Amino acid sequence: MSFELEKILQKNIVVLYEALDISAISRDGVRKILDNAEPLLNEFPGALIVTYQPANIQCIFANRRVQITDFNSTPPTESLIPKLTKKVAALIKDGKLVAYGFNFIFNFSSPDVEQPGLFLKKVFLPESKVIEQKLTGTIKEFSPTFKFPRKDVIYTFTLVPEEADSTAQEGSKSSTIRAQCNVHYGKKKLPSAIKQLQKEFECQFDFLVDLGEKLLKG
């Protein structure tokens, strides 16, 4: 019984600053950071949201943060996030960086499991009866969250069961478990080279996919 990576739903980078003066960010510069795109700017009190089509990329400036999200299902090796991050950082002249991190949302699937919530319960709550006695009820599904350090990085890794969907083949079903992952760097500076940021982005994604597959082996 095994789960494999099915689809990447979302990936982003979040850069946190001590302070972020949105009014000082060049709107013309924001429009030009992505070639061959049509930027749509939406401004709200304390926030600037820029959507780039047809690239399917969004940049949000708010709450001392810059979040650049790639909604394409392509792998990190093909993502423009590292390149755009460096371009956006150059537009923030006086911002002092506090930390940065990556977020990934992706699905694992398995044709051998029809009830992913109960599968997660069996794998991660082998002594569920003890807890159910305290709850005075039966646990119908389970969604574990892990938070752990590794070297200079802190990870938050959550597995969420999804409903089993019928596949193209009649009578067959494939269960889906969604992974929601955060990778937090406490560094006060982005890597100086785009290639290094790209490497971090790719390596962290690969690590998390491998981790999920290992955890879901049961």
- What does the pLDDT look like over 144-164, one tens digit per residue? 999 999 999 999 999 999 975
Mean pLDDT of 167-178: 66
Check: pTM over 0.75? Answer yes or no: yes
pLDDT of residue 77: 97
Task: Please tell me which residue, 166 or 31, carries the higher pLDDT value.
Answer: 31
Could you read off the pLDDT of 182-216 as tens digits, one per residue?
999 999 999 999 999 999 999 999 999 999 999 99
Distance, CA of 108 to CA of 50 (rounded, Å) = 30
Task: Please tell me which residue, 28 or 217, carries the higher pLDDT value.
Answer: 28
pLDDT of residue 168: 43
Q: Which residues contact 216 (CB under 8 A, 6 or more apart)?
A: 2, 3, 108, 110, 123, 159, 177
